[in-house]
Amino acid sequence: MSGGTAAFSARRPAPSCSDMEFLGREEGQSRIGGIRPSYQHDHHSRNDGHVPFSAAIPRQRLRRKVRCSMKKIRIPLMFALLTSALLVLLALSLGIGSVPISPGEILRILTGSAADAKASSIILKIRMPRVFGAAILGGALGLSGFLLQTFFRNPVAGPYVLGISSGARLLVCITMIFLLRLFSAAPFICLMAAAFAGSLLVTGLVLLFARRIRSMSTLLVVGIMVGSICTSATDFLITFADEADVVNLHSWSLGSFSAINFASLTPAVLIIIPAAIGAFLLSKPVGAYQLGENYARSMGVNIRTFRLLLITLSSLLSASVTALAGPVSFVGVAVPHIARLLFGTSRPLVIIPASFLFGSVFCLLCDLIARTAFAPSELAISSVTAVFGAPIVIGLMIGRQRRREND
């Protein structure tokens, strides 16, 4: 045992003169051929700027380790940054307005120790329902857009672009016109049911066209045309509605979070949160479905049931938003793509909560701009979201066309 170890640990004998000549000839041939052996560390290899192969291996391994560690850190870091941005926007939205309220006063109002009844009423009855509504409904729109893009396998699919929000808006408008004649305010459950039915109706029409149309741009045009028809019918009904109903219908049809209160927000939350949890539980089937229907079947996914769940959840999410705040444009299209860019991944286990969180941040920011940009006048929320969302849709269309031309 000790002899074998000594034999293996013995130093290699120094090369003879013939060996040195052979190495010299090999070195000369390699220099002529432009290839330098990896074992050479003479002054030539240090001065000509070339890194020896043996020294490049540790650098490559180090770079891979850095990239892997950055990928591991990037996802929790982005979640932390978006959560921080959400909290900052919540604080800003509560304090900024026609009546500025300091952070200290807001804390006293929230703890119940404030003496100013006017400031308490503004925070608790006006701004807080609106801020929480913008955050929850924005998350619902972002998640609904991701589910629709998965369902149609189309990067520009979204509740507004495909006309789903317009269909929900049409039936909600019809319901409001008839219910407002009987009640002073339309019950949210009735509006929610009407919006859900309108969403499913337009989604069914788009699905019929999608079976025959494979072009993304053509399907987009079909969705826009269906949405335009629904919008024209809605405007027609508003024109011939009673004067008392026109004000409510017109402000709602433009899209705004201003009319949200806790009484109407509570049932919407009871619908959106379970739908969001259900979408998160579908993360693994969504990942398998993104790789193809055959692969999803091989993984045990029931395609019909899965597609039915996707369209039901996305319709519930978009209908909740439309019933409460009216149509909000381009959030469902833009948010999932920005989330993929920020997190550097397309895994549904990450993108589903990321789309909800970034949708909340996006709508809070747009609502803050809509309230304060031209105060005391207020912009429609769709006017602000379209400014940020429409260029993303255009960029996606141009990028897809360029990839087709290159292929």
In whole numbers, what is the pLDDT of the chain averaged over residues? 79
Q: Is residue 179 part of a domain?
A: yes
Q: Is residue 217 part of a domain?
A: yes
List the domain range (segments joined by +) for residue 364.
Answer: 130-406
Q: Which long-range contacts (CB under 8 A, 24 or more apart) does 175-179 make?
A: 176/245, 176/248, 176/249, 176/252, 177/237, 177/241, 177/245, 177/249
Query: What is residue 295's predicted lDDT score, i.e. its pLDDT?
Result: 92
Q: Is residue 323 part of a domain?
A: yes
Query: What is residue 172's predicted lDDT score, i.e. its pLDDT?
Result: 83
- Tell me which residue has tokens 């789903």: 164
Q: Is residue 240 part of a domain?
A: yes
Domain total in the chain? 1
- Rounded to two decimals, what is the model's pTM? 0.77
Q: Is residue 94 part of a domain?
A: no
pLDDT in single tens digits along all 407 residues of the chain: 444 444 434 444 444 444 444 444 444 444 444 444 444 444 444 444 554 555 556 777 777 776 767 777 889 999 999 999 999 999 999 998 888 888 888 888 888 877 678 888 889 888 999 999 999 999 999 999 999 899 888 787 888 878 888 888 888 888 877 776 666 666 777 878 888 888 888 888 887 877 776 666 677 788 888 888 988 888 888 777 766 566 666 667 778 888 888 888 998 899 999 999 999 999 999 999 999 889 999 999 999 899 889 988 998 898 888 888 888 888 988 899 999 989 988 999 999 999 999 999 999 999 999 998 887 788 888 889 988 888 877 877 777 667 767 76
Cβ-Cβ contacts under 8 Å for 167 (sequence gap 6 or more): 198, 199, 201, 202, 203, 226, 227, 230
Query: What is residue 22's predicted lDDT score, i.e. its pLDDT?
Result: 43
Give per-residue burial for 286-301: e unless 16+ CB within 10 Å, then b.
bbbbeeeeeebeeeeb
CATH assignment of the domain containing 248: 1.10.3470.10
- If one counts every other C-beta atom within 10 angstroms of the C-beta of residue 165, the result is 33
Helix (H, G, I), strand (E, B) or coil at 198: helix
Q: What confidence tens digit (pLDDT) does each residue in 359-373 have?
A: 999 999 999 999 988
- Tell me which residue has tokens 């299209």: 333
What six digits make up the tokens of 375?
A: 């105060």
Per-residue DSSP letters for 4-38? Answer: HHHHHHSPPPPP-HHHHHHHHHHHHHHHHHT---T
Q: Is residue 287 part of a domain?
A: yes
Q: Is residue 392 part of a domain?
A: yes
Sign of CA dihedral 39, 41, 45, 50: positive
Q: Is residue 180 part of a domain?
A: yes
